[in-house]
Chain A
Amino acid sequence: MLDLLWLVALLPFLGAALGAVLGPRVDKRWTTAVALGAPGLSLLLALGCIFEYVRNVSPEPFQSVCYTWSAAGFDGYMAHEGGYQRFFVYMNLFMGSMLLLVLGSNYLVTFVGWEGVGLCSYLLIGFYYEEKFPPYAGRKAFIVNRIGDFAFLVGLFALVSRFGTLDYRTIFSAVAASPEAMGEPYLLGMSFAGFVGLCLFIGAMGKSAQIPLYVWLPDAMAGPTPVSALIHAATMVTAGVYMVVRSNAIYQLAEGVSGLVAIVGALTAIFAATIGLAQTDIKKVLAYSTVSQLGYMFLAAGLGAYSAAIFHLGTHAFFKALLFLGSGSVIHAMGGEQDLTKMGGLKERLPSTYRTMLIGTLAISGVPLLSGFFSKDQILAAAWGGSKPLWVVGWLTAGLTACYMTRLLLLTFHGEFRGSEEQREHLHESPPVMTWPLWVLATGAVVAGYVGIPRLGQFDIHVFDRFLSPVLLEVGHHGEAHHASVAVELALMAASVAIAAAGIWLAWKIYGAARGLEGGRGWAERYPAVHRALVNKYWVDEAYDATVVRGTWASARGLYRFDAGVIDGLVNGFRHVTVGTSMLSGFFDKYVVDGLVNLVGWLTQAGSRVFRRLQTGLVSQYAMVVVAGMLVLVFFVVLFR
């Protein structure tokens, strides 16, 4: 079975190719069969492989599960949309690339998948290409990601020039074999491990939307909602985390960069969470939530808690995909409306969506016994052990998360309906093809945490840690992360439950019961400056636009002017000089050289005209001249004798 692993990634590509060849005019049923058949087969194969090789080292099972369930969900969602076939071609392409990314046994294959998912992201964000904004958002995503890719590539060059290969095993065992060599000064004042680690992390920043490269993800919500659920919440955006964890051998030797990873992660987590508090677009809230949760994962990875990072990656995939698909169902019901201020009171009309989204909200908020609780707790425990300030940031973020998610839920499903009459008429629960994936994901959101029940003293059933242990090499002298005592662990849990409860309570107090928007308005009036900053997302987009974008554009314009004016100006100037010289030569030639020639001619002519008069033809005149001449001659002879 294992030798068929390559087929797992190939099948979706075949699906994409077949879908593309079939073209848009073929019966929808065929497209659907190809679209779901290829990844479905791929999933079966993957499961087979996993059963045979339980210690398979990637988070791929989670993702495969997500794929197929989400793919089924899209079927319903996209049923009313144009470009059905195009959509599924892109999706299959995405699945293939994503599988390549996680199944690749070397950095190059991973990079190929990495770029492939980036392309699909570009195409899918800009799926509604006839509008103005989606193509722009897609382009923004691609270019911001490319900035990360640039660093990723440089990291790969460094690796290939040092090791002569990009194979994971070879590199990591070489790294583990000579940790000292990795620490020697390498380039730009960094050690080799530090340089490569930084490059890879910048790559991860782009793909996993971390400060300062997170700006593309919120705009990526311009794509169809299932895409947001799958690509921009559950799978692709976690690729950066995956890569950092995968490269843990390098990060363990690069303490400075690991610290940077943790700090960037923590800052991103709290930064995005605060923005999430004030957004009114349901998908934007979820997008910032994703950015924030990815920050958590980097926090964990930076602190060396790699299995916690991957664990949170897995649980997050379930509840965030659930929340996005739920929001898709809501938007579908509202006839394309995404504004929270136009919703409210949907609880009765969309019971399944409401219940599943409630589960998702509780899970992400860290309510005990749901998946998010376990994974977040592990991260916070690692932070406590690693750095207390980072723990505080993570802990506060947990409260903010609970708060904005509860806000979202309350504004959507509770209180009065605030939309138009037309929308009220249109309200309906989504068809089963859309609701049953929600239930499947909700089940996952509940139970996925139990693979990683925290280790409490001797009581250790941490399946997940053991699952990942083969990839988490011990490199250098670093020991196993220090495990807190049972009492501390329990106290930390209590603290995170407390702050989650506080967040939920705060949101309820503001938006609960029938208060709806009114409560929020009161707070906005009390702190107008804060509110404005949050609503405008701290003006980061504007700042980038004013500096980086405009700056680059202006310098490019300047260069073009330089090109046309100076460089080509010189060329043309040379031409003018040449032409000018030629004209001068021509002038000289015409008036001086040829002028002399003509002068001789003219003189001859003029002389002839004068002397012609002597030739009168009268013999007497001639004789007179002869006599006169002789007389003059005689006179001179006599005179000068």
Chain B
Amino acid sequence: MIDLLQLLIGDSLTRLVFFPMLACLPLLLLRQERTVKRYTLVAALVELGLVLWAVGNRLGAGGAFEPWHDLAESGSPIEWIPRFGIRYELMMDGISLPLVVLTALLLPIVILGSWRGITHQWRGYSASCLLLTSGILGAFLAVDLFLFYVFWELMLVPMYLLIGIWGGRRRVYAAIKFFLFTMAGSLPMLLAILWLAWSHSQIAGAWTFSYDLLSRLDFPIAQQMLLFGAFGLAFAIKVPLVPLHTWLPDAHVEAPTGGSVVLAGVLLKLGTYGFLRFAMPLFPHAASAAQPLLVTLALIGILYGALVAWVQSDMKKLVAYSSVAHLGFVVLGLFAFDQMAWEGALIQMVNHGLSTGALFLLVGMLYDRRHTKEFDQFGGLAKVMPWFATLLVISALASVGLPGLNGFVGEFLILAGSYRAGLALPVIGATFGVVLAALYLLKMLARTLWGPLDRDENRELRDLSLREILTLAPLVILMFAIGVAPERFLTPSREALTTTLAEFHERRDEPAPMALRWRQSAPTPDGIGGERAAIARVER
């Protein structure tokens, strides 16, 4: 407990995770809506500042990023429930770094973007957003599977509230659908986690949920398939992969703008992150065996999502289905098991957060003015809303994958890497998705911005306010920055990806054992204090 408090006040991951949660408490004392908004914005900015400061301090020369662990003063991880070997263990490396920064970045943007759109119960809204952020950050940083599961479920609740309370007409249906879908996936995952810990006790005599220790286990292929299936289901629902995606359009359409931004921006990434962090390294043989299936699903998602997006008449639904297509690219890249493709997949997770986040915000800004998201209601808005038009064009083009903007970097790396890794035919299919992306996003531009301004209601529309421009500015700036200087954003993650990938290939190339056993080629000790002591204790 004392260790935890020490971490909380020091420069630690714990502080980054729990600051938003603790920042909820003063909300109880605030009465006025205006104060609540301002307070939340400040809290969000402080959180962003803390994250940037901590990360900035740790970026080495040349932009490399060393893994960063939260340890007790004694130098070992903190035991949480020692009886079951459950630890409070947080770690940030190159894989979680970009996603953590993205999460922290989106929080103030969401608050600023909801300034007018949310009209009631601001205290609850603020608390939900802050709690959600804590949950997501925790899930990205936890390396104890039990802790991961706790955060994974924790973030479900505020999201459920965001959709269910501040959502649109069918909000209750959408919220319950979202909740049940996720639960359906996470329960098998919980079972798999328990099985993992129990397996460890079978071979070592003690339970553990620590990822580092569990990754030393080598499962026979049949068990790997079951475990991978259980983890994979949870992650595939989160991504979402076709055909498990139907909760997404409903959740997006009904969620308030801020909810959509977080949902598309980071929540979906937990699925792809989960594959990369847990499912693939823990069960390498099963992951390889599942490659054809997942690549096929990803490819279907890319083409199917794009085509379905094209025929939507609701702007938000269009963007929602475009997420299915974009995340398909990420999954394709992950299951290529190739350095270039992995780098692309990771940066594409961020890219999708930026461009889709911006698109949702822009649609929300339009909705705030006209209270509709139907294409039929618009046309010719470039005339009255030049700022809106400019930013929408940039965001859409980033999403299309135009060179010079961020989307291209991710797509190119994913596709070129996957091609290199021997997935030539799926890549050709996926590349065709690039044509379809132009189809639906240019449709969106054409139906809203271009053409005659023929509706009277639209003639008087205000252009974006300064607040709205400021909300979007960081996203747009990053779109250009990643597009023009991608190397800067790829380096911090490179090391972590190389290590994970090398280990993955090494393990996959050994045959799977007939019975549960320790891994033959144990990884070199990564210098975590007490790690080896823990193993020794467990093995005794």
Binding site for B on A (CB under 8 A): 24, 111-112, 115-116, 119, 122, 126, 129-132, 135-136, 139, 142-143, 146-147, 149-150, 153-154, 156-158, 160-161, 187, 552-553, 555-557, 559-560, 563, 567-568, 571
**New A-B pairs, 4, CB < 8 Å, besides A143-B442, A160-B416, A556-B310:** A156-B416, A560-B308, A567-B242, A567-B243
- For the complex formed, measure the closest distance between the CB of A350 and the CB atoms of chain B, giving whole angstroms: 33
**Nearest CB to that of A112 among chain B residues?**
B403
Pick 23 A–B contacts, CB within 8 A, sort by A. A111-B403, A112-B404, A115-B408, A129-B382, A129-B449, A130-B452, A130-B453, A132-B451, A135-B451, A136-B446, A153-B412, A154-B428, A154-B431, A157-B420, A157-B424, A157-B427, A157-B431, A187-B424, A555-B307, A556-B311, A563-B304, A568-B246, A571-B181
Given A157-B415, A567-B246, A568-B246, decide whether A147 and B431 contact each other with a Cβ distance below 8 A.
no
- Complex CA gap A552/B303 in Å reads 12
Interface-central residue, B246, B427, B434, by most chain A CB under 10 Å: B246
**Structural contact, B438 and A142, CB atoms closer than 8 A:** yes
Interface residues of B in 403-428 (CB under 8 A from A): 403-404, 408, 412, 415-416, 419-420, 424, 427-428
A557 to B420, Cβ gap below 8 A? no
9 A-B pairs with the lowest CB-CB distances in the bound complex, closest first: A135-B450, A157-B419, A161-B420, A556-B307, A112-B403, A568-B246, A129-B450, A146-B438, A146-B435
In the assembled complex, the Cα of A143 lies from the Cα of B443 at a distance in Å of: 11
- In angstroms, Cα B442 to Cα A568, docked, is 27
For the complex, is B481 an interface residue (Cβ under 8 Å from A)? no
CB-CB under 8 A for A150 and B243, given A112-B403, A552-B307: no
Report which of A129, A556, A563 forms a contact with B451, defined as CB distance below 8 A: A129
Q: In angstroms, how far is the closest chain A Cβ from the Cβ of B125?
A: 28
The smallest C-beta distance from A633 to any residue of chain B, in angstroms, reads 68
Find out whether the CB atom of A150 lies under 8 angstroms from the CB atom of B435: yes
Q: Among A112, A139, A153, A557, find the residue whose CB has the most chain B CB atoms closer than 10 A.
A: A153
Give the residue name and chain of the B residue nearest to A133 (CB).
B451
The CA of A154 and the CA of B397, in the complex, are separated in Å by 20
> Nearest chain-B residue to A568 (Cβ)?
B246
With A143-B439, A153-B434, A559-B307 known to touch, is A130 a contact of B451 (CB < 8 Å)?
yes
Q: Report whether A571 and B246 are in contact in the complex, using a CB–CB cutoff of 8 Å.
A: yes
Looking at chain B's contact residues, is the secondary structure mostly helix, strand, loop, or mixed?
helix
Contacts of B428 in A (CB 8 A): 154
| B residues at A contact (CB < 8 Å) | 177, 181, 242-243, 245-247, 304, 307-308, 310-312, 380, 382-383, 386, 397, 402-404, 408, 412, 415-416, 419-420, 424, 427-428, 431-432, 434-435, 438-439, 442-443, 446, 449-453
B428: shortest Cβ distance to chain A, in Å? 5
Q: Is the CB of B307 within 8 A of A154?
A: no
Residues on B with C-beta less than 8 A from A156 are 416
- Asked whether B452 lies within 8 Å of A131 as measured between CB atoms, the reply is yes
* Minimum C-beta distance from A562 to chain B (A): 9
Could you say which of B246, B247, B402, B438 has the most chain A C-beta atoms within 10 Å of its C-beta?
B438
**A557 vs B312: C-alpha distance in the bound complex, in angstroms?**
9
State whether A143 touches B438 (Cβ < 8 A): yes
How far is B452's CA from A119's CA once the two chains are assembled, in angstroms?
22
SS class, residues of chain A in contact with chain B: helix
State the CA gap A158–B177 with chains docked (Å): 43
Contact status A557-B311, CB under 8 Å: yes
Contact A559 B402 (CB under 8 A): no
Q: Are B452 and A563 in contact (CB under 8 A)?
A: no
Bound together, the chains give a CA A187 to CA B412 distance in angstroms of 20
Task: Verify A132–B415 contact, CB threshold 8 A.
Answer: no
B272 CB to closest chain A CB (Å) equals 21
Q: Nearest residue in B to A24 (C-beta to C-beta)?
A: B386
Q: Which residues of A contact B424 (CB under 8 A)?
A: 157-158, 161, 187
Q: Which residues of A sit under 8 angstroms from B427, Cβ to Cβ?
A: 154, 157
B residues near A119, Cβ cutoff 8 Å: 397, 402
A433 to chain B, nearest CB (A): 28
What chain B residues lie within 8 Å of A147 (beta carbons)? 435
Q: A122 to B434: give the CA distance in the assembly, Å.
A: 16
A556 touches B246 (CB 8 A): no
CA distance A139 to B443 in the complex (A): 8
Are A143 and B415 CB-contacts (below 8 A) given A115-B402, A556-B311, A571-B177?
no
Taking a contact as CB atoms under 8 Å apart, the answer to whether A139 and B307 are in contact is: no
B452–A132 contact, CB under 8 A? yes
User: Which residues of chain A are near B412, meaning CB under 8 Å?
Assistant: 153
> Is B438 a contact of A563 with CB atoms below 8 Å?
no
Task: Compute how far the CA of A131 lies from the CA of B397 in the bound complex, rounded to whole angstroms.
Answer: 22
- Nearest-neighbor residue (CB-CB) of B324 within chain A: A563
Question: For B308, what are the chain A residues with a Cβ–Cβ distance below 8 Å?
Answer: 556, 559-560, 563
State the CA gap A122–B432 with chains docked (Å).
Answer: 20
Distance, CA A160 to CA B344, complexed state (A) = 15
Query: Do B446 and A150 touch (CB < 8 A)?
Result: no
Q: Which residue of A lies closest to B434 (CB)?
A: A150
Q: Which residues of B contact A129 (CB under 8 A)?
A: 380, 382-383, 449-451
Query: Which chain B residue has the least Cβ–Cβ distance from A164?
Result: B420
Q: Which residues of B sit under 8 angstroms from A559, Cβ to Cβ?
A: 304, 307-308
A442 to chain B, nearest CB (A): 36
How far is the CB of A342 from the nearest CB of chain B, in Å?
25
Separation of A126 and B420 alpha carbons in the complex (Å): 38
Cα of A156 to Cα of B181 in the assembled complex, Å: 40
Give chain A nearest CB distance to B327 CB in angstroms.
16
* Contact in complex: B453, A553 (CB < 8 Å): no
Residue of A nearest to B312 (CB): A560
Question: CB distance B415 to A153 under 8 Å?
Answer: yes
The answer for the CA separation of A126 and B446 in the assembled complex, in Å, is: 10
**Minimum C-beta distance from B480 to chain A (A):** 10
B-chain residues with CB within 8 Å of residue A111 when the two chains form the complex = 403
Q: Which of the listed residues B308, B310, B427, B449 has the most CB atoms from chain A within 10 Å of its own CB? A: B308
By the criterion CB–CB under 8 Å, are A139 and B434 in contact? no
| Residues A143 and B246 in contact, CB atoms below 8 Å apart | no
Alpha-carbon distance between A287 and B218 when the two chains are bound, in angstroms: 66
A115 to B483, CA, bound (A): 13
CA distance in complex: A154, B408 (Å): 14
Query: Which residues does chain B contribute within 8 Å of A556, judged by CB atoms?
Result: 307-308, 310-311
Q: A157 to chain B: which residues have CB within 8 Å?
A: 415-416, 419-420, 424, 427, 431
**Which partner residue on chain A sits nearest B401 by CB separation?**
A115
Who on chain B is nearest to A555 by CB? B307
Contacts of B435 in A (CB 8 A): 143, 146-147, 149-150
State whether B403 touches A161 (Cβ < 8 A). no
Q: Report the minimal beta-carbon distance from B85 to chain A, rounded to whole angstroms.
A: 36
Residue with the highest number of chain A CB atoms closer than 10 Å, among B310, B383, B451: B451
Output the least CB separation between B459 and chain A (Å).
13
